[in-house]
Amino acid sequence: MKTKTILITGATDGLGRGIAEELARQGHTLLLHGRNRPRLDAVAATLDTTVRTYLADLASLGEVRYLTEQLLRTEDRIDVLIANAGIGGGPHQESVDGHELHFAVNYLSHFLLVTGLLDRLRASAPARIVFVSSLSQEPIDFDDVMLTHRYGSVRAYSQSKLAQIALGLRLAGQLDPAEVTVTSLHPATLMPTKMVVEGGAMPLDSLERGVAATTRLAADPELEGVTGVFYDREHPSSPHPWATDPEVQARLWRLSKQLTQ
């Protein structure tokens, strides 16, 4: 297997850390993102591969812009971007920029990061973008995107994850698959991650299954050129129809550009 330079957001815990450990075992160069410097350095120290670390709080678009600038300044190539970082649960909260927190961290931050790195990914062709999404999916109410009137933590999480899938499908339709492919996946159901355990849910799938499903999309040579697909674990699946509507994708894109200017 040809080794790659792979960026993983949210790499200090749970699925992100498991992905990093597996890709390190395969010998890839890893670019690890986290928001806590001691935890980021501790994970990097355990990996027997080339590792570079990047610090940013994805609840701040300013920090995401700085992260993007750092990556462009430091990394000559990025072969794979795994958009993994995310949050779930809790009361209605706002990001530094005044956006609903799930939408900001799970979706807007990755919109800004991915679009900011597209030219570097194209230059690294064939490159891949992998969105770690979920089967928990709910359409966005464009009249109440930030859930000011009808907040629920599951709804907030679910709409941010469906927005990721819609973004991935739009990008896949715009990008030459010989240059950059885009896939999304539900890695596993209720893995024993910090988010699941602290939310009081009973784990159903193993962390290892989620790691295997995600690293497959990132690095399996047999998936070269595969784009515009949503996977339920290892199998192609159909996301909520909202995400496949070109008009919805275009409206979400315009909104995302507006909110990240």
Residues 6+ apart with CB under 8 A from 217: 128, 130, 183, 185, 223, 231
Residue 259 to residue 200: CA distance in whole angstroms: 33
Asked if 238 contacts 230 with a C-beta cutoff of 8 angstroms, the reply is: yes
DSSP 8-state secondary structure symbol assigned to residue 222: G
Q: Annotated catalytic, 151?
A: no
Distances in whole angstroms, Cα of residue 203 to Cα of each of 12, 43, 137, 145, 194: 20, 24, 19, 30, 11
Rg (CA), the chain: 17
Distance CA 156, CA 150 (A): 10
Buried b (16+ CB within 10 A) or exposed e, 79-108: bbbbbbbbbbeeeebebeeebbbbbbbbbb
Select which of 54, 107, 157, 231 is catalytic: 157
Catalytic residue positions?
157
